Amino acid sequence: MDAYDVVSHLRDLGGVARTGDLLRRGVARRALSRARERGAVAAVGHGCVAILGAPPELVAAVRARGAVTCVSALLRYGLPLRSPPGQHHVAIDTHRGAPRRGLLPSTVRLHWTAQAHADGLVVPPAVALGHAARCLQLPDLVAAVDAALARGLVRRVDLAAQSPRAGAALFRRALALADARSGSFQESIVRVALVEAGLDVEPQVRIPGVGRVDLLVDRHIVVEADGFAYHGDRVAFREDRRRDRRLELAGHPVLRYAFEDAVHGVEHLVDEVTRLVAATSGAADVRRASRANGAGDRRA
């Protein structure tokens, strides 16, 4: 067996493994030593080796004898985060003691679980979301749950079965607010902020002559949260202007926000929406009553 075979085995294992696991797969100690001498693999901790460029979160998980979890796992599953994690989050079995001091770098954050790595080096999405209740704020956690539900990575029953040791109340609140209809990360962030402010919010509402809008607040105000790279061409820009005009003519005031304003300036956004709701709620009630009366007259 040559260095290439050692690297091939490591790639099958995610790029990093404990020496004992490689030996059990039939890798000879001599071949492993030659691979290290040639620089094809490197030691990354006591009893662990990795290929060059191995994902650091997987390296941390192998060194801890655990699995990638929490925000580190969410990133690997492609779920949205406001910012990349500053640490490598690793789950280890609750029946094991903590790794001895100095074994793991300070960049590793441990989570305790009974479901650490039954399926490999990354915990299942539902477990990762449960652990994320310890590290994310409510809007960010809801946004991740929304995306996981929409993509079919988890089911509500899977999430309901989670009982995180930290952040259990936050996790339950996130499940109550989660909505698979959400169209984007920024839409989820805005929706949660508006709901927490006491407003009535419905996502992805279809309005005749316009199509779907991101959020309908107080049943008449439309809030649109544009993507980070939205309006890359004039056609998209003109289409939004057309939609906005149709909404205004149909009696739906429109507030449109760029990604940065929706995600990083959401407090100001909530203030503006709340003020518009207060300023237009009376007129909206009159319009709704008028439509209802008109429908009654037609039925008569």
pTM of the model: 0.85
Angle between helices 125-132 and 138-150 (to 10 degrees): 170
Q: How far is CA 257 from CA 111, 130, 150, 225, in A?
A: 37, 30, 23, 5
**Amino acid identity, position 212:** R
Angle between helices 266-299 and 185-196 (to 10 degrees): 80
C-alpha span between 155 and 141 (Å, rounded): 15
C-alpha span between 151 and 147 (Å, rounded): 6
Q: 131 near 116, Cβ under 8 Å?
A: no
**Amino acid identity, position 186:** Q
Q: Which helix (H) or strand (E) holds 139?
A: helix 138-150
Strands 211-217 and 221-225: antiparallel
C-alpha span between 248 and 269 (Å, rounded): 19
pLDDT tens, the chain, 300 aa long: 555 688 888 998 889 999 988 988 888 889 989 898 888 899 998 889 999 899 999 999 999 889 999 999 999 999 999 998 999 999 998 877 677 666 778 889 999 887 655 557 999 999 999 999 999 999 999 999 999 999 999 999 999 999 888 899 999 999 999 999 999 999 999 999 999 999 999 999 999 989 999 999 999 999 999 886 654 566 777 787 888 899 989 889 999 999 999 999 999 999 999 999 999 876 655 555 555 565 555 444
